[in-house]
Amino acid sequence: MVGALNLSCILIYLLINHFDLGLAQYSYNGAIDVADALGPKLAGHVFPDVSPDVQEQAARDVIKRVIGKKASESFEVEVNRLLDVRSFQISMLDSGKILIAGWDGTSVCKGFHQYLKYQLNKDVDWFKMTIELPVNQHLPNVSMSSTSASPIIYYQNVCTWGYSFAWWNFQQWRRNIDWMALMGISLTIAPIQEFIWQDIYTQLGLNLDEIEAHFAGPAFQPWQRMGNIRGWGGGSPNQGGGSEFRRLQYLLQQQIIQAQRELGISVALPAFAGHVPRALRRIFPQANFTETERWNRFPNAYCCDLFVEPQEPLFRQLATTFLRRVTQRYGSNHIFFCDPFNELEPPVSQADFMRSTAAAIYASMREVDPKAIWLLQGWMFVKNIFWTDELIEAFLTAVPQGNLLVLDLQSEQFPQYQRTKSYYGQPFVWCMLHNFGGTLGMLGSVELVNSGMDLARQMPNSSMVGAGITPEGIGQNYVMYSFALERGWSDRKLDSAGWFTHFALTRYGVQDERLNQAWQLLRTSVYTFHGLQKMRGKYTITRRPAINLSPFTWYNVTHVLEAWQLMLSARSIIPLDDNRYDIYQHDLVDITRQYLQITADQLYVNLNSSYRKRQLARFVYLGNKLLELLDDLERILGSGSNFLLGTWLEAAKLLAPTVEDQSNFEFNARNQITTWGPNGEILDYACKQWSGMISDYYRPRWARFLDDVTLALQSNQPFNASAYKQHVLKEIEKPFSKMNKQYPVRPSGDPWLISQVIFEKWSKYTKDTKYLHNNRLQLPYK
Ligand SMILES: *[C@@H]1O[C@H](CO)[C@@H](O)[C@H](O)[C@H]1NC(C)=O
Ligand SMILES: *[C@@H]1O[C@H](CO)[C@@H](O)[C@H](O)[C@H]1NC(C)=O
Ligand SMILES: *[C@@H]1O[C@H](CO)[C@@H](O)[C@H](O)[C@H]1NC(C)=O
Ligand SMILES: *[C@@H]1O[C@H](CO)[C@@H](O)[C@H](O)[C@H]1NC(C)=O
Ligand SMILES: *[C@@H]1O[C@H](CO)[C@@H](O)[C@H](O)[C@H]1NC(C)=O
Ligand SMILES: *[C@@H]1O[C@H](CO)[C@@H](O)[C@H](O)[C@H]1NC(C)=O
């Protein structure tokens, strides 16, 4: 629910710089012409372009970073605007080199990736962006071309900047941008804006204290930008580090944008959303401000900034000032985004009001950039009774056809394009919103993604012009992201079984039936989710213990166990070159984690029944098992380099501009993944199954709970849930944010050995008669 709120109503102005004359030839099976969908204005629009030379060099550099300088010399690249929009062509030159030609730099990289994956059987991953090719790599002579079925391939979510990117430096971004290019991403966002606002606020007459009280800390900026919170996690004005941090972030953002544009990737920039510091009332006493609604019970000190109605003259003034500076400082692809109604119901529920509000916002943008197109995140319409069809239509059609582009944010689960008749003709992007809060847990909807894009493209009068991914956090379930992006480019359904077979082959660099079977079992179990439950990564382990949890799973857990066993058995055949073994170890840690996560759910069901039946001995026995499981989970996570709390905390401290800021940055990092607010306002929303978190946060909570319930059973009293809650918040959850214990940034132990021991121990647990007593495998799954 929180994620829905976080994301609702993000308005993005957008001009897709890839849409030039070429687009007029674009049309889908019986669907309307994209140029029509985008309006006559765009059809003839030639966007400000990065020269083909620059894009070629950028693409060449990506290839060099991925396969190394020597190997990259076997590839020639060419950016050619005469090719079809968003297409690539691969051929062999007489010299024996492989020529990859593409419409833009990112299409070239996509072509290179296609060759790498399907000709050389090698693939990248977020955790593995370099590939070692054999010295005498045979380069197959292929002649192929491919055009993206969707001119826009979109990536990112405003929340990813909090949950995944918060502590990144440019090196980490470089890898991510390389990855984006290899996936053929053509559109993304760049939300960092605080440095620019600080200037504007200062010029308007706010003092530093007032400004600092508005800006949230580095882990919470996305929600302050959306007007959900203010000040939370921010620096103290006396420290002065805040302003230096904002300057450094601004420089980082410039660097990121430049690297993206050089590859031909368009970048959407923020526009004014209407949210301003409370202190602005002092400067503009006459203006009509509304106070933003309280969000998730945040206390007054950290909530409820002021909102300027879009029809107010002040809105226009701030919007145009801000947008001018944004474009001056970042350059422009004529793409801007903002989120005026995030978690804030519009004050009036009338079609006229919606129409004039949208028109006012659009007008202020147009005043700065006559070429601007407005992109709207359609999430605000999801399950929100405020937004009736009439209001949605009034809002969307207030902007001329083709000048508004909508991100259909979670198309695989809650698509809105049907209900809105393809957004009343405004173009839209089909997006997979797979992750909330950067939580871990294997999950995905392969078949819904596979067929969903076809349904949207083939809908009569479809205005779909793009496909993409909008995860709140990355770093998990890589297979889903790879699948969705490849599907987005493709004009037909992928053969998912075959695709997974190839995934297993390229991932481990070896053809093996066990590894293939393991991935097929995952495909048909964890990756077949198709329910309407809001999947938020809160599994029993990571939830605050209670007697009324209801864990559920949508698949046969035996399949995960079998996949795990198959993976374990393949150890000896994993090639040692090209760091294949690292990926194998990563997957072993992840699947072990997954099985323990499910087992904890099952243990919980039995614990719960023994509590209800007041079976003290059984309760104590199962409780000890659960603690043992948490210890095993801690051990396996500690052996995986991508599952360490230490990495997250050290990165946060490293980004602090001064030593004095370090403790606040660490506080931000710890608080976001636990209490998310001063008093557990969004408790465990961004929970992490990481080494360090299990031992020092989740396990202590469970241990205390088990003790309290045991005492209650012994004394024949009911368990006092509210006493427990108070205690755990005060003694475990809140203190965690303020600690400064250091955690390893290097894994310890051999993942395979640890996983094997855990497998032997826990795969047998269902044979234990104490579990069999009741509810074994009673989890509802279909
Ligand atoms: C590559 O294949 C094409 C088509 O089969 C052929 O014409 C060309 O000569 C080949 N090039 C090289 C360098 O072998
Ligand atoms: C202020 O804005 C609200 C809408 O949010 C409107 O109902 C009200 O009439 C406005 N007040 C003035 C004085 O303009
Ligand atoms: C598609 O658009 C055409 C032209 O605007 C319209 O006549 C037709 O009814 C639409 N079809 C559907 C199924 O909405
Ligand atoms: C746990 O017990 C409570 C009643 O005490 C019940 O409402 C809940 O559904 C049970 N949960 C499970 C997973 O059995
Ligand atoms: C779950 O999978 C196992 C192994 O494939 C199978 O034996 C079992 O019947 C399945 N359970 C259900 C309820 O389908
Ligand atoms: C539960 O604990 C709370 C807080 O410690 C206390 O106020 C309350 O009286 C307790 N309830 C029962 C039924 O004992």
User: Is the CB of residue 141 below 6 angstroms from any atom belonging to ligand 1?
Assistant: yes
Local confidence band at 28 (pLDDT 50, 70, 90 cut-offs): very low
Parallel, antiparallel, or unpaired: how do β-strands 266-270 and 187-189 relate? parallel
The residue whose C-alpha atom lies closest to atom 4 belonging to ligand 6 is: 723
For residue 781, how far is its CA from the centre of ligand 6 (angstroms)?
Answer: 37
> How many CB atoms neighbour CB 711 within 10 A?
12
Local confidence band at 241 (pLDDT 50, 70, 90 cut-offs): low
The residue whose C-alpha atom lies closest to atom 8 belonging to ligand 4 is: 548
Is the pLDDT reported for residue 566 higher than 50? yes
Name the least confident of 292-296, 517-521, 695-699: 292-296
DSSP reduced 3-state for 153:
strand
Select from 404, 363, 467 the least CA-distant residue to 154: 467
For residue 721, how far is its CA from the centre of ligand 6 (angstroms)?
Answer: 8
User: Is the CB of residue 739 below 6 angstroms from any atom belonging to ligand 6?
Assistant: no
pLDDT, residue 343, reads: 62
Name the least confident of 109-113, 401-405, 469-473: 401-405
Considering every ligand atom, which ligand is closest to the CA of 289? 2
- Pocket of ligand 3 from Cβ distances under 6 Å: 460-461
Is the pLDDT reported for residue 528 higher than 60? yes
Please give the DSSP secondary-structure letter assigned to residue 577: G
Name the least confident of 213-222, 238-247, 452-461: 238-247
pLDDT, residue 346, reads: 81
> How many CB atoms neighbour CB 729 within 10 A?
17
Instruction: Report the C-alpha gap between 492 and 478 in whole angstroms.
Output: 21
Local confidence band at 404 (pLDDT 50, 70, 90 cut-offs): confident
Considering every ligand atom, which ligand is closest to the CA of 307? 2
Q: Give residue 271's identity as a one-letter amino acid code.
A: A
Kindly report the CA angle at 681 between 604 and 549, in degrees rounded to 5?
Answer: 15
Q: Give residue 122's identity as a one-letter amino acid code.
A: K
Is the pLDDT reported for residue 55 higher than 50? yes
For residue 708, how far is its CA from the centre of ligand 6 (angstroms)?
Answer: 13
Is the pLDDT reported for residue 293 higher than 90? no
Strand ranges of the sheet holding 98-102, from the earlier edge strand across to the other edge: 75-79, 98-102, 87-92, 144-147
The residue whose C-alpha atom lies closest to atom 11 belonging to ligand 5 is: 556
The residue whose C-alpha atom lies closest to atom 10 belonging to ligand 3 is: 461
CA-556 nearest atom, ligand 5? 1
Name the least confident of 163-167, 247-251, 343-347, 537-541: 343-347
Kindly report the CA angle at 574 between 568 and 577, in degrees rounded to 5?
Answer: 145
Name the least confident of 189-203, 313-327, 368-382, 414-428: 368-382
Is the pLDDT reported for residue 592 higher than 60? yes
User: Is the CB of residue 25 below 6 angstroms from any atom belonging to ligand 1?
Assistant: no
The residue whose C-alpha atom lies closest to atom 7 belonging to ligand 4 is: 548
Is the pLDDT reported for residue 446 higher than 70? yes
For residue 526, how far is its CA from the centre of ligand 4 (angstroms)?
Answer: 24
Mean pLDDT of 74-85: 95
For residue 765, how far is its CA from the centre of ligand 5 (angstroms)?
Answer: 17
- Pocket of ligand 2, candidates 288, 291, 341, 352: which has the most ligand atoms within 8 Å of its Cβ, to mutate? 288
- Pocket of ligand 4, candidates 539, 550, 605: which has the most ligand atoms within 8 Å of its Cβ, to mutate? 550
> How many CB atoms neighbour CB 355 within 10 A?
18
Mean pLDDT of 515-531: 97
pLDDT digits over 603-662, tens only?
Answer: 999 999 999 999 999 999 999 999 999 999 999 999 999 999 999 999 999 999 999 899
pLDDT digits over 171-194, tens only?
Answer: 999 999 999 999 999 999 999 999
Please give the DSSP secondary-structure letter assigned to residue 717: -
The residue whose C-alpha atom lies closest to atom 3 belonging to ligand 6 is: 723
Is the pLDDT reported for residue 89 higher than 90? yes
Structure tokens at 513: 């039936």
Local confidence band at 368 (pLDDT 50, 70, 90 cut-offs): very high
Element (H, E) at 76: strand 75-79
pLDDT digits over 646-688, tens only?
Answer: 999 999 999 999 998 999 999 999 999 999 999 999 999 999 9
Considering every ligand atom, which ligand is closest to the CA of 94? 1
Mean pLDDT of 679-700: 98
Local confidence band at 468 (pLDDT 50, 70, 90 cut-offs): very high
Instruction: Report the C-alpha gap between 267 and 335 in whole angstroms.
Output: 7
Is the pLDDT reported for residue 587 higher than 50? yes
For residue 521, how far is its CA from the centre of ligand 5 (angstroms)?
Answer: 12
The residue whose C-alpha atom lies closest to atom 12 belonging to ligand 5 is: 556
Is the pLDDT reported for residue 37 higher than 70? no
pLDDT, residue 771, reads: 55
Please give the DSSP secondary-structure letter assigned to residue 376: E
User: Is the CB of residue 301 below 6 angstroms from any atom belonging to ligand 6?
Assistant: no
Q: Can you count the helices (H) and strands (E) in the chain?
A: 32, 16
CA-95 nearest atom, ligand 1? 13
Mean pLDDT of 36-46: 35
- Pocket of ligand 4 from Cβ distances under 6 Å: 547-548, 550-551, 605, 608, 612
Which parts of 367-432 are beta strand (E)? 373-377, 404-408, 428-432
pLDDT, residue 579, reads: 94
For residue 489, how far is its CA from the centre of ligand 3 (angstroms)?
Answer: 26
For residue 288, how far is its CA from the centre of ligand 2 (angstroms)?
Answer: 6
User: Is the CB of residue 715 below 6 angstroms from any atom belonging to ligand 6?
Assistant: no
User: Is the CB of residue 722 below 6 angstroms from any atom belonging to ligand 6?
Assistant: yes
Mean pLDDT of 513-520: 98
- Pocket of ligand 5 from Cβ distances under 6 Å: 556, 558-559
Is the pLDDT reported for residue 410 higher than 60? yes
pLDDT, residue 178, reads: 98
User: For 11-22+151-518, which CATH class?
Assistant: alpha beta
User: Is the CB of residue 723 below 6 angstroms from any atom belonging to ligand 6?
Assistant: yes
User: Is the CB of residue 95 below 6 angstroms from any atom belonging to ligand 1?
Assistant: no
Mean pLDDT of 95-105: 97
For residue 113, how far is its CA from the centre of ligand 1 (angstroms)?
Answer: 21
pLDDT, residue 779, reads: 43
Local confidence band at 378 (pLDDT 50, 70, 90 cut-offs): confident
- Pocket of ligand 2 from Cβ distances under 6 Å: 288, 290, 309, 347
The residue whose C-alpha atom lies closest to atom 5 belonging to ligand 3 is: 461
Q: Give residue 165's identity as a one-letter amino acid code.
A: F
pLDDT, residue 767, reads: 61
pLDDT, residue 520, reads: 98
Is the pLDDT reported for residue 25 higher than 70? no
CA-421 nearest atom, ligand 3? 14
pLDDT, residue 42, reads: 34
* Alpha-carbon distance values, 194 to 180, 249, 284, 298, 396 (Å): 25, 9, 21, 22, 29
Considering every ligand atom, which ligand is closest to the CA of 729? 6
Give the global pTM.
Answer: 0.93
For residue 724, how far is its CA from the centre of ligand 6 (angstroms)?
Answer: 9
Q: Please, what is the average pLDDT of the chain?
A: 90
The residue whose C-alpha atom lies closest to atom 7 belonging to ligand 6 is: 723
Mean pLDDT of 558-582: 96
User: Is the CB of residue 720 below 6 angstroms from any atom belonging to ligand 6?
Assistant: yes
Mean pLDDT of 145-163: 95
Q: Give the percent of the chain with pLDDT over 90.
A: 81
Local confidence band at 766 (pLDDT 50, 70, 90 cut-offs): low
- Pocket of ligand 2, candidates 289, 309, 314, 356: which has the most ligand atoms within 8 Å of its Cβ, to mutate? 309
For the domain made up of 52-147, give the CATH fold.
Answer: Chitobiase; domain 2 (3.30.379)
pLDDT, residue 775, reads: 42
Q: Is the CB of residue 417 less than 8 Å from the CB of residue 408?
A: yes
Kindly report the CA angle at 218 between 212 and 220, in degrees rounded to 5?
Answer: 90
Where are the domains positioned within the chain? 11-22+151-518, 52-147
DSSP reduced 3-state for 390:
helix
Select from 613, 735, 617 the least CA-distant residue to 674: 735
The residue whose C-alpha atom lies closest to atom 1 belonging to ligand 1 is: 141
Is the pLDDT reported for residue 372 higher than 80? yes
